[in-house]
Amino acid sequence: MKRLSSIETLIKFVSSGSSAIRSEVLDPMRDFVSFSQLPSGAFVDRAGNPDAYYSLFAFLSCRALGLEEPVRRLESYVLSLDRQKVGSYVDWSSWAVMRSLLPMSGAQKNALALKAIWRWLSRGGNANRVYGLFMSLIVMNRLWGCGGVVLRTFVRCLPNPLKAARLPATHLASLALIYREAGIDTAEVTRALLAHAAPRGGFSLFAGSGDPDMLSTAVSLYALSLTGADLRLVAPSAAAFIAEQFDRGAFLSGDGDTTRDLEYTFYGLLGLCSIVRSATR
Specify the pLDDT at position 232.
92
What is the C-alpha to C-alpha distance for residues 5 and 100, in angstroms, rounded to an integer? 11
What is the C-alpha to C-alpha distance for residues 112 and 250, in angstroms, rounded to an integer? 33
CB 21 within 8 A of CB 251: no
Specify the pLDDT at position 113.
80
CB 265 within 8 A of CB 44: no
Helices vs strands, H then E, count in the chain: 13, 4
Specify the pLDDT at position 155.
66
* Residues counted in the chain: 281
Specify the pLDDT at position 228.
93
Average confidence (pLDDT) per 10 residues, the chain, 281 residues: 78 93 96 97 96 94 94 93 70 87 86 78 55 67 65 65 76 88 89 94 92 96 95 95 97 96 97 90 66
Confirm whether pTM is higher than 0.85. Answer: yes
Specify the pLDDT at position 125.
43
Specify the pLDDT at position 127.
43
Residue 104 CB contacts under 8 Å (≥ 6 apart), including other chains:
112, 143
Specify the pLDDT at position 126.
46
CB 18 within 8 A of CB 64: yes
CB 235 within 8 A of CB 241: no
Specify the pLDDT at position 130.
58
What does 100-138 look like in DSSP terms, one character per residue?
HTS---HHHHHHHHHHHHHHHHTT-SSTTHHHHHHHHHH
